Amino acid sequence: MTEGCAVASVLGMLEEREVAARVRVEGLREEVARLAEVLEAAEIELDRRVIAREELVEALAASAAEATAVTEPPTESERATAPLAAPVPGSMVPQWRDGCR
């Protein structure tokens, strides 16, 4: 084999390796683009789920606050400062008896 053939052979081998590397790089770029789309969709889904959980927590907190406000009897200080209820026209008033409260 002459020196010129050896150089051409090595050059051909390097060109083949370059082509293979280019093909691999292009395949990886396509895979990265596909994964970027998958990642974006997953991030959108995650954001939606976080918002849904936060909304549920807020709704449950509001519901619990309403339930607590309705079911808790007024404190002593709230009773002292609360206005007295006015009689409702047409309501029945029990007869007063001595010794009864």
In angstroms, rounded to a whole number, what is the distance separating the alpha carbons of residues 22 and 83?
85
In a domain, 56, yes or no: yes
Look up residue 28 and give its two tokens: 């990886």
Q: Are 59 and 51 in contact, with CB atoms under 8 Å apart?
A: no
Handedness of CA 10, 11, 16, 20 (dihedral sign): positive
- Give the DSSP letter string of 65-79: HHHHHHHSPPPHHHH
Is 69 within a domain?
yes
Q: Are 54 and 62 in contact (CB under 8 A)?
A: no
For residue 82, the model assigns a pLDDT of: 60
Q: Which sign does the torsion angle of CA 28, 34, 35, 37 carry?
A: positive
Q: Structural domain tally of the chain? A: 1
Residue 82 domain flag: no
Instruction: Tell me the whole-structure pTM to 2 decimals.
Output: 0.51
Asked whether residue 46 is domain-assigned, the answer is yes
Q: Assess if residue 79 is contained within a domain.
A: no
Domain that holds residue 22: 9-74
Residue 89 pLDDT more than 80?
Answer: no
61 within some domain: yes
Give 72's DSSP letter. S
pLDDT tens string 25-79: 999 999 999 999 999 999 999 999 999 999 999 999 999 888 877 666 667 776 6
* Residue 57 domain-assigned (yes or no): yes
Residue 87 has pLDDT above 90, yes or no: no
Q: In terms of pLDDT, which residue wins out, 31 or 81?
A: 31
> Does some domain include residue 1?
no
